[in-house]
Chains A and B, each alone.
Chain A
Amino acid sequence: MNFDYNEEQQLLADSVRRFMQKDYDFEARRKIVASAEGWSPPAWATLAEMGLLGLPFSPDYDGFGGGAVDMMSVMEAIGEALVVEPYLPTVGLAAQFIARAGSEAQKKAILPKVVAGELKMAFAQTEKGARYDLAHVATAAKKAGGGWQLDGTKCVVLGAPIADQLVVSARTSGKAGEAQGISLFLVERKAAGVTLRPYRTLDGLRAADLMLKGVELGADALIGPEGGALALIEQVTDFATALVCAEAVGAIKHANDATLEFLKTRKQFGVPIGTFQALQHRMVDMVISLEQARSMACLACSKVDNEKDSGERRRAVSAAKIRVSDACRHVSQEAVQLHGGMGMSEELKVSHSFRRLTMIALQFGDADHHLGRFAAIPARAA
């Protein structure tokens, strides 16, 4: 048993944190969120230089051959600094499909560019009425002229306005909700027939709804086997869920640090409000939530890397997401409440961590969704 990062992981964690403190403080972030593009090319270039964009990819494609555990400290730093760059959509989601199921040609064309910071990606999966059901895909892919034609609508595609390439799930047979018949396609964001309805999300990210109308693709746009993509979608979504759990730990840590500092410095009735026992106990409960969330993030990241039994993997990820979502709600609500009016203010970072934590709580399935998923998977005998 060993819960420590190894030397390389620790060095990485330290350098990422230094970069965030120097170049991605709250003021810098505010400017990036308010900019027309909504992301920072210099920050992205630095992420590439530091090797963070290549962490989970094979050395054959210029990556570093790491996994979710290696990315934990990066995600935690991203959470703490409330980074809005499309790291998770690109590295944690869309490019994962290429890395895990892409053809040799797709890997060669995509992954080295992702690693170098020259290509950003997004994963277009959610549809209206799908909620968190990954099999609810109605977008149609028909064979046409030796290739494919896509028609349909995708919702809340995180990172889409920023992405160069999209991975789009679509149905090559069957109907929405069925496990069989889902396929994945590589689509250029600027391809003819792709229309974006872009927006900012509550937590300052860029996303879009995606209209696909007669989008023509070559035969080589298909990623992985035709009609059998659901298991892969689930696997990659679990990978990203584990990562977002680690991100939550960072955002929770910020909320806790800021609240503790506030309790020690804010004076009312002549004393710091942290001297009031009623508030002390609430702060302690927030710290307990952080530790429980961190433990489950460790579990999820470790299982998505190493667990061969997909049932066991899904169980661990859902358990983690339940606990982390609960912690997101608990800590974000308490952090604002204990800050009083200031916690509500746009000017304080804690209100931004509130928004990010609120969105993480529902990203890739809220606690209710994962309660249902967890309960449906039998536990493996110990």
Chain B
Amino acid sequence: MDLSYSAEELAFRDEVRGWLAANLPAELTKKVSDYEELSRDDLLSWHKILARKGWVAPSWPREWGGTSWNVVQRYIFEEECGYAGAPPLVPFGLAMCAPVLLKFGSEAQKKRFLPRIYNGDDFWCQGYSEPGSGSDLASLKTRAVRQGEHYLVNGQKIWTTLGHFADWIFCLVRTDASVAKRQEGISFLLIDMKTPGITVRPLILMDGGHEVNEVFFEDVKVPLENLVAEEGKGWTVAKYLLGHERMNTGRIGASKRELAKLKEFAAAQTKDGRPLIEDARFRDKVTRVEVELMALEITNLRFLDQLRGGRAPGAEVSMLKIKGTEIQQALTELMMQAVGPLAQPFAPTGGAEGFDGFTAALAPRYCNFRKTTIYAGSNEIQRNIIAKMSLGL
């Protein structure tokens, strides 16, 4: 048994690390470090830097711009980006729509959309959840009715992350309501957000931030050529996408960065005249998170090692998601607790001068991160998946 990376893997990590040090813009890292909201331009500028380097879509086939890295290299790359404080790559185009097009799309669809996704010309969002369909996605009601050369789409999506930035949305819609099995009669459509009849309404979350939306469709005309896979096969596509979640779902690199920051930050706070990090009660909590993170990193590497053979990931991804999000939440909570009573200020009402924005961002960030155990398949659903897929329960 050898838990360390091979010489080649270490060399690869150093190459990535060196490149990031030279090419990741400091102003973006600062925004990430200061917990500032990232604009559309912030997200796209990092996307485009990676696209120019040829590293924006490592897992794609070589002919479309992939890097031919193996799973371990891809993992190293993603974790190094997180550890360096790079903005997240918005997954909806690169890691969700593109794999679907590569697997199910027509040649024309691939040619039309993939290069634009790669270069960041189109900003994508995901139209899955509906007000009545969260964990139970197959109960979705948004209707698409064929009319001549178009589908006529009516309905509503909810929790559409960054929908207000998006040029395109991929949607699960119901094309046949008469089927007995709910999973049938669902189709996968690509919809231009500029099409008349689409309304995007912001949903403000409890941290005051705008990142999710409701998207309403009223007689929206979608060309038939925007159907991906056969009509009625949308559920197959959706399931494929679920199994295609990236293996960095544990977000270990980003959590390592936050852990280091927490320790540094807690050393600068005082409790009874001494650095807070020397307070055993607080330090033990930090240590428990650190140990959990160490375990998760090794677990993640063990899974990757098993995947080297080319086997598709299974319930492991669910385990990584559960532990990874719990760790992220614990880190945001400890950052908030580190400042004690100073976590209370939220928004200045009489001018921003002298207002400590960073400290005031800690409690809202703790609030915001409650979403991580809810989104992308709640942790309850992830546990169901493990129970069913791995344990046969």
Which A residues form the contact surface with B (CB < 8 A)?
38, 126, 128-133, 155-156, 158, 161, 177, 196-203, 205-207, 209, 267-270, 278-279, 333, 336-337, 340-341, 343-347, 351-352, 354-355, 358-359, 362-363, 366, 368, 371-372
- Given the contacts A156-B344, A354-B367, A363-B341, A341 and B158 also touching, CB distance less than 8 Å: yes
> Could you tell me if B344 and A207 are in contact, using CB atoms closer than 8 angstroms?
yes
Cβ contacts B155-180/A at 8 Å (1 or 0 each): 00011000000000000000000000
Tell me whether B255 is interfacial, beta carbon within 8 Å.
no
Contact code string B233-274 (vs A, CB < 8 Å = 1, else 0): 000000000000000000000000000000000000111110
> In the assembly, what is the distance between CA of A368 and CA of B139, in Å?
45
Asked if B364 and A268 make an inter-chain contact with CB atoms under 8 angstroms apart, the answer reads no
Q: Which residues, 264 to 319 on B, are CB-close (under 8 Å) to A? A: 269-273, 276, 279, 281-282
The answer to whether B373 has its CB under 8 Å from any CB of chain A is yes
Residue B355 interfacial (CB < 8 Å): yes
How far apart are the CA atoms of A48 and B336 in the complex, in Å? 36
Determine the main DSSP class of A at the interface with B.
Answer: mixed
Contact bitstring B137-159, A, C-beta under 8 A = 1, else 0: 00100000000000000000011
**Structural contact, B343 and A202, CB atoms closer than 8 A:** yes
> Which of A133, A200, A340, A345 has the most C-beta atoms of chain B within 10 angstroms of its own C-beta?
A340
| A362 in contact with B337 (CB, 8 Å) | yes
Chain A residues, Cβ within 8 Å of B159: 341
| B135 on the A face (CB < 8 A) | yes
Is the CB–CB distance between A200 and B347 below 8 Å?
A: yes
**Which applies to chain B's interface (DSSP): helix, strand, loop or mixed?**
mixed
Shortest CB distance B293–A (Å): 20
- Pick the most buried of B133, B273, B282: most chain A CB atoms within 10 A of its CB: B273
Evaluate whether A340 and B134 lie within 8 angstroms (CB atoms) in the complex, with A197-B350, A358-B363 already known: yes
Q: Is B354 among interface residues, defined by CB-CB distance under 8 A?
A: yes
A278 to B384, CA, bound (A): 10
Q: Flag if A133 contacts B342 (CB, 8 Å).
A: no
Q: What are 27 A-B pairs with beta-carbon distances under 8 A? A: A38-B349, A130-B341, A131-B270, A133-B271, A158-B344, A197-B350, A198-B350, A199-B350, A203-B344, A270-B139, A278-B383, A337-B373, A340-B378, A341-B129, A341-B159, A341-B371, A343-B370, A343-B374, A345-B203, A346-B203, A346-B208, A351-B205, A351-B367, A358-B363, A359-B344, A362-B337, A362-B340
Once A196-B350, A197-B350, A198-B348 are accepted as A-B contacts, the answer to whether A344 and B206 lie under 8 Å apart by CB is yes
CB pair A358 B350 closer than 8 Å:
no
How many pairs, one residue from A and one from B, have CB atoms within 8 Å of each other in the complex?
A: 149
Instruction: Determine the distance from Cα of A359 to Cα of B367 in the docked complex, in whole angstroms.
Output: 11
| Contact call A345/B374, Cβ cutoff below 8 A | no
CB distance from B332 to the nearest CB of A (A): 11
Docked CA distance A132–B206 (Å): 26
Q: Is the CB of A344 within 8 A of B129?
A: no
Using A344-B371, A362-B340 as known contacts, say yes or no to A131 and B203 having CB atoms under 8 A apart: no
B349-A200 in contact (CB<8A): yes
Please name all residues of chain B whose beta carbon is closer than 8 Å to the beta carbon of A131 when the two chains form the complex: 269-272, 276, 340-341
- A164 CA / B314 CA spacing, docked (Å): 63
Q: How large is the interface on B (under 10, 10 to 19, 20 to 34, 35 or more residues)?
A: 35 or more
How close is B343's CB to chain A, nearest CB, in angstroms? 6
With a cutoff of 8 Å between Cβ atoms, the chain A residues found around residue B158 in the complex are: 341
B371/A197 in contact, CB under 8 A: no
Q: Is the CB–CB distance between A337 and B374 below 8 Å?
A: yes
Q: Collect the chain B residues with CB atoms within 8 Å of residue A161's CB.
A: 349-350
> What distance in Å separates the Cβ of A132 from its nearest Cβ neighbour in chain B?
6
Question: Known pairs A155-B342, A205-B344, A366-B340. 18 more at Cβ < 8 A?
Answer: A131-B271, A156-B344, A196-B350, A203-B344, A268-B135, A270-B139, A336-B374, A337-B378, A340-B135, A340-B378, A341-B134, A341-B371, A344-B370, A345-B204, A358-B363, A358-B367, A362-B343, A368-B279
* A38, A131, A278, A333, most chain B CB atoms within 10 A: A131
- Contacts of B336 on A, CB cut-off 8 Å? 358
The complex places the Cα of A351 from the Cα of B379 at a distance, in Å, of 19
Given contacts A268-B134, A341-B374, A355-B206, contact A199 B366 (CB under 8 A): no
Residues of B close to A341: CB separation below 8 A: 129, 134, 158-159, 212, 371, 374-375
Does B9 sit at the interface, judged by CB under 8 A? no
* B374 A132 Cβ-Cβ under 8 A: no
What is the CB-to-nearest-CB distance from B272 to chain A, in angstroms, rounded to a whole number?
Answer: 6
Query: Complex Cα distance A366/B366, Å?
Result: 16
Q: How far apart sit A196 and B380, CA to CA, in the bound complex (Å)?
A: 46
Interface flag for B345 (CB, 8 Å): yes
CB of A318 to closest CB in B, whole Å: 14
Specify which of B135, B212, B344 lies most central, judged by the most chain A CB atoms within 10 Å of its CB.
Answer: B344
